[in-house]
Structure 1
Amino acid sequence: MHYTQNQKISQITPSTLIIGIDIAKDKHVARAQDDRGIEFGKRLVFENRIHGFQLLLDWMERHQKKNGKNHVIFGVEPTGHYWLNLAYFLRAKGFDFVLVNPMHVKKSKELDDNSPTKNDTKDARVIAQLIKDGRYSVPNLLEGIYAELREGVKLRDQLTKQLMIIEGRIQNSIQRYYPEFFDVFGDWEGKAALCTLRLFPFPSQIREMTPEEVLARWKPFVQRGVGLKRATKLVETAKKSVGIQIGIRFAKQELDCLLDQYDLFKKQLKELDEELEVLVDTLPGAKEMKNIPGMGSTTVALFYAEVGDITKYSHPQQLVNLAGLSLREHSSGKFKGQTRISKRGRSRLRRALYLAIRPMVAHNPTFKALHQYYTKRADRPLKKQQSLIALCCKLLRVLFVIGNKQCEFDGSLLLRGIPQINELQAA
């Protein structure tokens, strides 16, 4: 699944037929060549349909027989999501399928003809040439429960994003029509606050009511936490409100729609989290991961949704590279540039790790001790942000071991070999 450069090059032999494919929405372009770069025949244009895929296979078989090739490798430049259908189709047929970096295609397209011209036919040729030189990667095409988990996590991100948008629009409405609302309620998502927004959200409606009437309207929905004092304050602030007093009719209708959407997204998100938790519990090592102080089901689900089957990785550094947490540096001669993370990887995995490590630094004794050591050690102390990134890599290595061995987390193993921490714990 993850090969060195030499291993990639060694897979391209004189008996290999290399097919580079430029991906588009409806029609793809394919070109074939051998390991020396000699092209076979003309290009093939085929549709993103089953008959187009079959046309590709027939075209490939003709080139195989004509040129005596017994091994075929297909390569594409990933364009959006349009390449996935072809990838799963060819993988199901048992063919080798690889990806080339779009940036590599862009930067190497002038090597053959010294021209900045770009078109589908030329790109397919450039893709095949990159594969010949071993400049490709093997995609992590998830299957089974891991594919289900990735789709579930993607849906969760969409629901969370929509929920944040709705929450912002609700607060926008409150600030325009009743800015003093937050003088009465600290949070608009509380039971009494939501009840008020549902029943009488605008000052013009509240002014006509007495505190006793407000309290009576609250009681069927809110049993505790509100009283006459809160109702009196609501009425008094409504009488002095500077909120907008025009367009109330449709503003109320807009707010009702927003609150309905808010309730719907909250319900869908809760149900989805329950389903994801049940799904995650069936994965190897998931329960042990959730036992780590500070780790939750959502983080474990995000980890497996991005990584897939952990047993397909032979070294934890592969996970670090996948997350884009590997270090990069620009240096030349006596100049030594600043070291940063590459960010060449799955941004959703990187974000999940970062959001997980922050509470772990505060509540997990092991990672808290490591963070203090990294930031306060005498020899090359790290900045706080650098320490958090280093701990994200450490967490990835922990998850790699737990996923492969299904063992419990032992924080003492991480602290072993650090004299300052050991002396502190002994004291």
Structure 2
Amino acid sequence: MKPATYILGIDIAKDKFDVHLRTLLGSELRLAACFPNNPKGFQVLQRWLAQKAAGSTDQLHACMESTSTYGDALADFLHGRGHLVSMVNPRRTRNYADSQLTRNVNDTIDARVIADFCAAQRDRLLIWEPLSPEHRQLRALTRARQALVDDRDRFGNMLETATGLARKIFLKQVRQLERQIKELEKAIQQYVALFPELHKQIQLADSVRGVGFVTAATVVAELPPIQKVPQAGQAVALFGLDPIKKTSGKSVDTRARMSRMGSRRGRRALYMPALTALRCNPIVRDLGQRLQAKGHTGKYVVVAAMRKLLRLIYGVLKQGKPFDPQWPAAQPNPQPAEPLAKS
């Protein structure tokens, strides 16, 4: 990692962002400020940093929480100016604040906590890099589709008990949303066709039995560029499908469960395909049968199928070859299956 003299903690919000500037070594220099979350505010921030002797590109490491998309434009701006940028899981900064016995919470304090966390954990933080424009747009399109699906399901649930005029309104809204979802799915297909590499990746993911075009596009969109994910286990963790288990002495021994510390959209995209794969994908089906033979049922088997499906998608993307259901049998020394998490 490049050296840094200054740490900039950023607490991002829709209309503004609070910053806390400190030195890496923790001298008495601590400065706080607040700026509008728009391009003009970014320019004001850059001038403020220059005035505080932190404008050099090899001196500043900025850190913010990866919440929503409100910080994407600012991260792009700072990265474009040559600054190091890290986006961290809010759980990490919240737990760090608890470890420091932080009792009060506001935007100014949060920015300071993020700066202190970055200084303490800097060697373990990943450096953020922006997605390519086509990848970013694909992610925006798949998330827009998911938002429409959520709205359709919400109105569909209300439709079950609605009567009279309310029922007519809800029914009209459901039909309109279904049309919009179909139009957006067609737009995604047309967009993907414009980019050969993106199109190839989605075709490869779509070749896995149980996975359709929408699922393939969503998984590819939610994953980072595949060359930046060296192992399948990291892809599983990015989707929050990795298991967590707590043990302590003789009194604490919890059952393994899904961590959920990753992309909620990615997990949701894999749920229904996993149910399909348990029927039609021989690799996933065999896994489900083995688990059922051991007495596991319900969500345990479904989560295991989701993990396996994601590993298969990762495999075809990494190898650049379509799915082959006979691949495990062709390997001379197949690896045993890893323990699978329960929801």
TM above 0.5, one fold? yes
Letter in 1 for 2:153: M
- Worse-matched range after superposition: 282-291 or 321-330: 282-291
Q: Alignment partner of 1:304: what SS?
A: helix
Cα distance, 1:419 vs structure 2: 11
Residue correspondence of structure 1 range 262-277 to structure 2 within 5 A = 262-277=174-189
Q: Alignment partner of 1:130: what SS?
A: helix
Residues 36/101 of structure 1: CA separation in 2 closer, same or farther (3 Å cut):
same
Question: Radius of gyration: which is bigger?
Answer: 1
The answer to whether 1:315 aligns with 2:243 is no
The answer to whether 1:351 aligns with 2:268 is yes
Residues 311/108 of structure 1: CA separation in 2 closer, same or farther (3 Å cut):
closer
What corresponds to 1:162 in structure 2?
151
Contact 1:100/1:130 (<8 A) preserved: no
TM-score for both structures, normalised by structure 1: 0.68
Q: Distance in 2 between matches of 1:350 and 1:337?
A: 23
1:24 pairs with one of 5, 13, 22 = 13
Q: Distance in 1 between matches of 2:138 and 2:258?
A: 27
Residues 46/261 of structure 1: CA separation in 2 closer, same or farther (3 Å cut):
closer
Write the deviation string for residues 111-162 of structure 1: whole angstroms up to 9, x where unpaired: 66x6523333332222111111226455574332221111211221222223
Residues 299/33 of structure 1: CA separation in 2 closer, same or farther (3 Å cut):
same
Residues 268/49 of structure 1: CA separation in 2 closer, same or farther (3 Å cut):
closer
The answer to whether 1:389 aligns with 2:303 is yes
The answer to whether 1:261 aligns with 2:248 is no
Write the deviation string for residues 308-338 of structure 1: whole angstroms up to 9, x where unpaired: 4222211111111111111111101234321
Write the deviation string for residues 46-104 of structure 1: whole angstroms up to 9, x where unpaired: 222333212221222233469x9833111123454432231222223332211234334
Letter in 1 for 2:259: S
Q: Distance in 2 between matches of 1:315 and 1:115?
A: 36
Spell out structure 1 runs of 4+ moving beyond 6 A. none
1:407 pairs with one of 295, 316, 321 = 321
Q: Distance in 1 between matches of 2:335 and 2:95?
A: 48
Letter in 2 for 1:318: Q
Write the deviation string for residues 366-399 of structure 1: whole angstroms up to 9, x where unpaired: 321222123225xxx6445323322322222221
Q: Alignment partner of 1:285: what SS?
A: helix
Contact 1:20/1:31 (<8 A) preserved: yes
Q: Alignment partner of 2:52: what SS?
A: helix
Residue correspondence of structure 1 range 98-113 to structure 2 within 5 A = 98-109=86-97
What corresponds to 1:91 in structure 2?
79
Q: Alignment partner of 2:161: what SS?
A: helix
Q: Distance in 2 between matches of 1:132 and 1:65?
A: 15
The answer to whether 1:127 aligns with 2:90 is no
1:71 pairs with one of 34, 55, 59 = 59
What corresponds to 1:305 in structure 2?
221
What corresponds to 1:226 in structure 2?
none
Residues 80/359 of structure 1: CA separation in 2 closer, same or farther (3 Å cut):
closer
Q: Alignment partner of 1:148: what SS?
A: helix
Residues 100/363 of structure 1: CA separation in 2 closer, same or farther (3 Å cut):
closer
What corresponds to 1:147 in structure 2?
136
What corresponds to 2:340 in structure 1?
none
Letter in 2 for 1:270: K
Q: Distance in 1 between matches of 2:174 and 2:13?
A: 37
Contact 2:201/2:220 (<8 A) preserved: no
Letter in 2 for 1:156: R
What corresponds to 2:205 in structure 1?
289
Residues 287/73 of structure 1: CA separation in 2 closer, same or farther (3 Å cut):
same
Write the deviation string for residues 339-386 of structure 1: whole angstroms up to 9, x where unpaired: 111111111111212221111111222321222123225xxx644532
Q: Distance in 2 between matches of 1:303 and 1:137?
A: 21
**What 5-or-longer segments of structure 2 have no aligned partner?**
337-343
Contact 1:150/1:305 (<8 A) preserved: yes
Q: Distance in 1 between matches of 2:166 and 2:109?
A: 52
TM-score for both structures, normalised by structure 2: 0.83
Contact 1:12/1:35 (<8 A) preserved: no
Cα distance, 1:168 vs structure 2: 3.9
Q: Distance in 2 between matches of 1:93 and 1:259?
A: 50
1:56 pairs with one of 45, 53, 62 = 45
What corresponds to 2:289 in structure 1?
372
Q: Distance in 2 between matches of 1:115 and 1:363?
A: 52
Q: Distance in 2 between matches of 1:161 and 1:110?
A: 34
Q: Alignment partner of 1:411: what SS?
A: coil
Contact 1:22/1:123 (<8 A) preserved: yes
The answer to whether 1:33 aligns with 2:22 is yes
Q: Alignment partner of 1:46: what SS?
A: strand
Cα distance, 1:412 vs structure 2: 2.3
Q: Distance in 1 between matches of 2:176 and 2:221?
A: 25
The answer to whether 1:332 aligns with 2:320 is no
